[in-house]
Amino acid sequence: MQLATVAFDKFQHLEEQACEQRILDAKAKLGKRLVILCHHYQRADVYKYADLTGDSLKLSRLAGQTNAEYIVFCGVHFMAEVADILSRPEQIAILPDLAAGCSMADMANLAKVERAWRELTEILDPDEQVTPVTYINSAADLKAFCGEHGGIVCTSSNAGKILEWSFSRREKVLFFPDQHLGRWSGYKMGIPLEQMLVWDFDEPLGGHSVEAVKNAKMFLWKGHCSVHQMFQVQHILRFRNQYPDGLVISHPECNFEVCKQSDFVGSTEYIVRTITDAKESTRWLVGTELNLVNRLADQLKAQNKVVQFMAPTVCMCSTMARIDPQHLAWTLENLAGGKIVNQITVPAHEAELAKLALQRMLDVS
């Protein structure tokens, strides 16, 4: 017999032990009908229940490969949208807490991007001269915009390859929503900084002259990740002064000077792999989200590796942290009782165009 939907308020104040038991019971009941995906930044008390883990690129691929009926994504909203787009029609993508968003993704919306495109049309022929590239940390309608205009999606793992593809097709790139990933990736390709213009979406023509727009190679959306902007060059200099043999690794969402001062720069998967594969007894300063850094520090203690967070203040992805064991227990228990909660569904036309841009990314990378 199908049960009624269980209200979340019955779970809100569950103690950790009771919560764990209910999660495990629901997982056992659902069996292979369920898969739980967790991003590396997910809090530890949720991450431990993951069936599959990874960064955005890895999870994008896994979302389309799983055979489970229910894909429960312990990440943020855009990740669950990608799972819905890449999974089969009969599969159901679920986000345990609908409030788990991404402040960076919110910095670019379709209305603002379409306005930028119209402004570029006054000077250029963007459908012939500009490839729109959206970071995977963006809403589905922006991925659809890229699909419609011959563009593509990128992640922090593959941004360099994606830019190579983009420039092989058209002479310029509009990159959104994270200016820092765009700048670092362009810099690594040898594009001069002065040819990468920050596009201020609140200013006419992004705040630039007609001549500057004509001469630019990349238009970098004025967006950023608040977590990665906490890391500063002085944190690295202080570390190097204390530990001359120490190594610094940063995510490309960090600002340009932090990336330049780092020994290694790469995605979360790259950070995990680089530190894990390093020789024993090394010391690392890591410029990325706190949950991932803490997890690596615990896992690698046995190898005498010291893994420390770059910023002196606590800094984690607060929106992803909204997905707690209570929300996960509530979601799974409802599924086990035959009720679907917090399903993420991308409209069919939008999903078709977004999938086109995502598939281009998967083919290139």
- The pLDDT tens digits of the residues spanning 233-284 come to 999 999 999 999 999 999 999 999 999 999 999 999 999 999 999 999 999 9
**What confidence score (pLDDT) does residue 276 get?**
97
Give residue for tokens 């670019």.
Answer: 108
* Helix H or strand E segment including 175: strand 172-176
Backbone angles phi, psi at 80, to 5 degrees: -65, -35
Average pLDDT, the chain: 93
pTM of the predicted model, to two decimals?
Answer: 0.90
Q: Calculate Rg over the CA atoms of the chain.
A: 21
**What confidence score (pLDDT) does residue 348 get?**
95
Sequence-ordered alpha helix ranges (H) in 54-158: 56-65, 77-86, 103-106, 110-121, 126-129, 140-148
**What confidence score (pLDDT) does residue 314 get?**
66
8 has pLDDT over 70:
yes
CA distances to 52, 60, 182, 219, 309 from 73, in Å? 10, 11, 26, 32, 26
Contact at 8 Å (CB) between 136 and 153? yes
Give CATH for domain 105-226. 3.40.50.10800
Is 8-99+319-346 assigned to CATH 3.90.640.10?
no
**pLDDT class of 331 with cuts at 50, 70, 90:** very high
Higher pLDDT, 64 or 309: 309
Backbone angles phi, psi at 11, to 5 degrees: -110, -20
Q: Where in the chain is the domain with CATH 3.40.50.10800?
A: 8-99+319-346, 105-226, 228-309
**What confidence score (pLDDT) does residue 22 get?**
95
Higher pLDDT, 64 or 132: 132
Backbone angles phi, psi at 69, to 5 degrees: -75, -40
Residue type, 229: Q
Tokens found for residue 143: 């991925």
Q: Quote the CATH superfamily of domain 228-309.
A: NadA-like (3.40.50.10800)
